[in-house]
Structure 1
Amino acid sequence: MTVITKLKCRGFKSFAKNVEVNFLPGFNCVMGPNGFGKSNVIDAICFVLGKSSAKGLRAEKSANLIYNGGKKGKGASEAEVSIYFDNSKKIFPYDEKEVKFTRIVKKTGNSKYMINGKTLTRQQTVDVLRAAKIDPDGHNIVLQGDVIRFMDMKSNDRREIIEDIAGISVFEEKKNKAMNELNKVQERLNEAEIILTEREKTLKDLKKDRDQALEYKNLEKNVERNKATKINLILKDKKESLDGVEKKFVEHEENIKKIQESIDSLRKDIQEKKNEISAINEELNEKGDKKQRELASEIEKLKTEIIQDSSRKDVVDNELRKLKERKKSLESSLKEHGKKVKDLQNNKERIRKENLSLKGNEEKLKSKIDNYKQKHGIIEKDDISMSIEALDQQIEDMQRKTLESEEDKQQLVRKIDRLEYELETIEKDIDKINTLKKEDADKINKLRSNRNEFKEITKLLSNSLNESAVFSTQLSSARTKLMDSNESLARLKTQSIRIREMSAGDVAVKKILSMNIPGVFGTVGELGQVSKDYALALEVAAGPRMRSLVVSNDQVAAKCINILKESRSGVVTFLPLNKLKERKISEEEKRMAKSNGAHGLAIDLVKYDAKFRNVFKYVFSGTVVVSDLAVARQLGVGRGRMISMAGDLVEVSGAMVGGYRRKSGGLGFQQKEVNQDMSGLEKDIARLQNTVSMLEGKKTENEEIIVRVRERKAVLEAEIKAAEVKIGSGGDIKELNSIKKELKIEIKELSVGLKDLEKENKIKGSELIKLKGQRQKEMSKLSKLNSSEINKSLESFEEAKQKLKEQWIKNDSEFNSIDKEIALYDNENNKTIQILRDGEKEFDEFSLELKGLIEDLTGNKDILKIKEVNQRKFYAVYNSLFNKRAQCEKFIIKKDTDVIRSEERVRSVEGKRNEYSIKKAILSGEVEGLEKEFEQYKEVQLRRGMNLGDLEIEIRDFENMLRKLGNVNLRSLEIYDKVYEEYKGLIEKFDKLKLEKEDVLKLMFEIESRKQETFMKTFNLLERNFKEIFASLSTKGDAELVIENPENLFEGGIDIRVRLASNKYIDVKGLSGGEKTLVAVAFLFAVQEFEPSWFYLLDEIDAALDKKNSELLSKLIAKYSTGAQYIVITHNDAIISESETLYGVTMQDGVSKVMSMRVK
């Protein structure tokens, strides 16, 4: 139990200054003259307890509750009221023994609530009070006029009071909550049903996309497997080829090594013999003269030239022999082809003659058929047949046109019916929209907004799909260009590798380059780039120096030389940058370079790094590149070093080196064009890769947009349909009226077209009947002329004629085939003839070279004989020494010949090895490319027992099938599964909602049953208390509470009937003011019996009572004050005399004061 212990007011109504009222348990009475502010005490308590209505506190607005200053005083800025409750029983959720509630109102009307000095919201304050069963609008607070209002209230309002007392509001809340839940469940059921329908449709649409995507994925997988298998097969084949090439390469390397060892051994033996010759020459030098030594040198030089020319003659003879054999083989092939062509032409002539014969036979047969028809009168029959055929064709055309017109007519009728139905639907929608209430306006606006968005989304989807097609086309084109560029780059890389292989062909050079020694930059050929036009000239001009190795300093050169010695790999010329001296080009050489026919200095035609300038000056010196030897001669032989474009060299000494040179393809220097093309292709490939990457990114982004737009479109469709179900399919009445107008115009136009078609069909029907009549007449004529025997003979002629036609067609096809075959052989023969011409030209060149070699050999041998005669004369003097030297020279010549042959063998083997090296490089590149390409197929299962041809056919077929599928939405696989799961979830949710609906209905039934039961229980107890209390207050009669509608309690109200002196019950409206007060007080205390409160506030409830009834009321209050705190506002002596504590309210200058006095 709790009671009000204290009330403090400041600036509230007439309480201008701080006023403190200490209340005690039991019967408290507040008295004072009218207008002094005693009722303001009750208003203050109601105010601080959170009463929200200012009118309930006898004020127009909250700001009027603040003290206004009266006539002379100053108004307060705010009103503050605090009430204290006893909390010794822990009624409130606070530890303090006394709880203080405060409310402050500002002039703005805003209120501030506090509990124990802590600011809270009104709701929080009310919640704390409710927890202690204190309500500012409760039945324990009776304000002025409430008694009269209770007696004058309607019977339904009294029923609601009893419902409130009985806690029916709880049931009503539960029922309303259940009803709301039922409405929500039903709404969700409706929405779920709409969404389910939409999802079913979406699933059907998505299933098509999913099936197509599955087919696409399956085809893509097959293509991927086939491509992986194809690459694997090619890779295996290439690896096998590479292994074979590597094996051959190693064999040739070993062979070269063996031959080189043999050459080294021979050179060692030659060097020993040369040392012996040197010793003999020294001895002869002492005994002989200088002229003899020159003679010996000339003889040795002649022998060397004879050996070299002999070796070259053998090579040329071998080449001429090969050319003869090749010519013989090609001529044999030409002869064979000619024979085949002749046979084909014979066949062609035979077919031509046969066709002429067939044509003659056909003419004869045709004449025979015509004669036979004329003999049996079938000509007329044919004319009739032709006439019938023509009529049949006309009838068929007319029937087709009639049917087409009829179909057009039916389509028009169907279209008009459909448009009329749409018009009727739109008119209904317009009527429905016109009858909609104002609250549906938001829904209509929302529907209109959704429809506009739906149009935009549909347009965006269409644009995105078009963009996707464009991206696919651009991507395909870019990928094709990228593939072509990669292939071109691979070819150029192969050519570059071949150039590097040739420029670094020497074993010793390769040895140094393969070791990657710091300070070794590469060969001169590798470090310079030249145009292909000058490649041959500059290669000859550079000579052996082209294969010299450029190093950073002499220390690196020495290190490399030691490595070559230790490995016995050979000899290399090294060019250390720190030791090479700059060779200055003379003014004479510069003038020659600018002359007519000169192309410039050789060093200026080479592109190189600036740090290698001294290297290339050393290699080329002041060499001038000229057009040909004629230009060199004009400029003056011996004036400077010159090289012609054909590779003819003119030395400063006057020596001229030249003749026929086999084109080496410019493999000495790096060709500038190759590097430029490679650089250009690499840039193109990078650009194309960026383009492909950009297009793939755009295509992916566009596909994501398409998926999002499709999802949004589906959502909008569902929302639009749901909205149309709720408010009708219209939405925008302006748009509907526009559509209605268009439909009417279209129906009118179609109706006119329908009438025109009907007229046209009538005309066609008349023409058709006429044609059928003519055909019937012709058929009658034909039936008279028909004879089965004549027809059989005629059919046999026609059959023979058909066979002739078939044979003609067969011959014609064979004739065309022979023409194609002859053209094929002619093409082959032309190619063979061109090869023969090239061979003859080459044969002539070799023959000319052979003739020159024979002449040189003959001349040199004659000169050698003369020189040897002279030498023999000298030998006679120094015979023993000469014999010994001759034997040494003979040995050297023999061994030199062996060395030359071995070197020829080395060059031959090196050539083959280089071919295998190129093949190896190409195959290695291809294998590397294939392995890189195969990486993406590592996880792919390969197919067994398939060959390349079958795989390529299948790949082509599968790719064609993929193209036919067109744009496939691969996201549909994921979306379908997602939507299907959502669909399953929706079905489960739908079933669950049905169960929820059943549960809610059951709950509502239970609530209604319990509500009636609780109400009757409360009513019976309340009525009993009411009767007893009324009897104690009134000696004249009794009173009772009556239910208006016992069958349905909550559709009627509660009446109060009173029986006083007579035996009849009368309505409360017929009672006096005092009697009404007694009835109201009896009801109030009956409620107290049923649901006691901690305290009661009664404001002048005794105003209408006489002294006797006031005494009865005061005793009743005194009785009940033992169990609750009563604060009564009165100026009735009978009430005052029964109270335990008195509070007097006085007023001075409009300011109220309160004084208290304990009576009992």
Structure 2
Amino acid sequence: MVRLEKVVLQGFKSFKRPTSMAFPSNFAVVTGPNGCGKSNVGDSISFVLGKTSPKHLRAKKAQDLIFHGSKNKKPSDYAKVNLMFSNGSKVLPFDEKEISVSRRLNKAGISSYKLNGKISTRQRILDIFIQARMNPGGHNMIRQGDVTKVIEMNPVERREVIDEISGIKEYDEKRNHALKQLEKVEEKVREAEIILEQKEEIIEKMRKDRDSALEYRNLTNELELVKSTIVWKEFTSSEKNIGSLEKNIEEKEGGLEKLEKEIKGIDREMEEKDREMESLMKEVMKKDQVEITKKISKIESSLDSKENLIRSNEREIERLTEMVKNLSTMKGTPDHLKPVLELKGVHGFVKDLIIVPDKYRVSAEVAGGTHMNDIVVDTLGTAIHCVKYLKEEKIGRARFLPLDKIRSSPKPSLPQGTLGWLSELIHHDREYIPVVEYVFGRTACVNDIDKAKKIAEKNRIRMVTIDGDIFETSGAVFGGHYIRQAKPETKKYLKEKEKLDEENHILRMEIEELKEKLKEMRKGVKETGTFDFERKRAKIKEEIEALRDKRSGTYDKRMNLQEELNRFKINKARYEANFDNLRIQWEEHKKTWKSLENKEIYQKKSVSSLKDREKEILESISSIGPVNLKAIEEFEILYEEFEEFRERVEKISEEKESVIKSITEIENRKREVFMQTLEDMGKLFKKIYSDLTKGEAELGLDDPMDINSGLLISAQPPNKKLLYIDAMSGGEKVLTALAFLFTIQRYKPSPFYLLDEIDAALDRPNTRRVVDMIKSQSKDVQFIIISHNNEMVKAADIVYGISMEDGESKVMGLKLPEN
């Protein structure tokens, strides 16, 4: 155990000369009259232990701690105090059994420390003393007024003493540090959440752009797939159709050759019958009935001629009827849509509302394409009504152009070298300007493909040549031989048909008259005896007529077969012309077609359904509006940054939760330590008070659930009721306060205790009680007591008397015999 063995003072306060005070026993009393300087002994010990504030050493400034002289004595140049400690138990971290610690203060206010005669620092001295539970502000040193302070403290201030004793100040420091950290973290969280919210707004906007771009990309991919599938199906279908047509043409040509041979055979038979008739006529010429026979032959010949003419006219009428029908088909008017033209507000097909100069007719047909069969209506409402009508009647589908809604895109500047915008080369009524501009407005007309090529090198516009070659803005070129449709002349053919019908009517009337006349003449032949001759002639004639009818039927078959053959050849030519375009288109799509997915699904669909889907996709793309395709990549980059930032925010939030958890743990641990200290000190206080007074006492919180509430000190002296310290009498307060201070000292034992006039306010019986306790405790602990109470002096093992002479304190030591 560490003990304070000796104190040596020089120039410290009232001690001018070197003054040594040894403490060989555990109960020493320093006594003397008031003002003799005995409390300066306690100040000197505090001075060496590290007290820095002059106020705590009962001085106004540091220089006041140096002996200031008197009338006959000079002031000292410095103040010096040396403390000697025994270190037999090696509590202090030294091998020496005795440790010397000194402090010197000069007039400049500069202190210096020495440890075993070697210069040291105050901090090192403090670190060494703290190991032995000695510190300048420790409760092992009760100075003048400390008892009164305890009495005058409010409950919260007394509780703060428990805080200090329990060491929870360390937890408060940790909590305060954690609270500061929490404040910083919360600020980070607030800032991060604001930034995160802003980023979320940006992300949501970018997400919409990204979704639009993805939808656009998916639609364009599907559009490419649909277009490629349409081209593939039309290309393969056209290829098959051409093969089928070639086979049909070959069959028809074979049939035609066979019919030609049959007709030639019939012609030979007819020639033979004609020779027979000629021979018969020669015989008749030898007889008398030549004249009547000639007349009959002439009438019969006339009949044959007229009947042949009727048959010829009928064939021509049939041909004209077919021509009118073919012309209607070539014009491209969808017959199934004609009922729509009868509805109110419908103006007609585009092709019927414009007049195209013959020079530009091919250009207009190619540039207009399917738009030529678009139906022009007055309003959007009419268009919707027509669509509903087509659905209800299940007629088909059509594209309608409402005059009140249809608008064309602004035209670019017209390049030099063109013939003009096609819309300006076509004639039409003013009310159809929006329609014509919509269909033809952005297509320029040029002379030939070479001219178009030169213009395309510097300009990106849609062009059509006089021959029908198309230059698209995408860069695609469509062209080749264009089969020009015949100019419709339906009225002319209908007039010719009516004329032939009228001619046939007259011929039939003439034939009837001739037949009546022939009938009369044949009666005359029977009467004149030339009946046998006439019978033979009629039989040959009948055979000739039969052959003629057979030839006519065969010829009709040949004509029909020829027409079919011509139709097949025309269709083949059309397919071949379209096939070239399709082949060019297929070559363009072929590369991408191989890499496209889900081809099988679209290959199963019809061309019409694919074209409907193509239209739907184009409408969807149009409805999307402007698209930033870079938004997909930009969104991914921004979203990745956003996720990284959100993870950082989450980590900050986790850090915040960790700090809050740490604060909670600190508070819980603080409460545990405090309550344990309070419980242990309560037991000690109860015992010490009982030893002093034989009464009961206890320590408790004003609010047991709140460790920050006030500390209540209550005591019950013998034969009295339990009172709080604030309600006790003066002596009871002092005794209770001493019991509290002794409890503190006992809870955290120190190598020695310095008690300065703790008995000043006690009466003799109570002083005796305190003396007895100190005497009892001094067996184990060292007490240095400053007092002028006789009871205290008499009980001490060694007494130092302090006196004052000419402003200087002097010491006289006296060791008392053991009782």
Q: TM-score range by the shorter chain?
A: 0.3 to 0.5
Radius of gyration: which is bigger? 2
Q: What TM-score results when the alignment is normalised by the length of structure 2?
A: 0.45
TM-score, normalised with respect to structure 1: 0.32
Structure with the bigger RCO (C-alpha within 8 Å, sep 6+) is 1
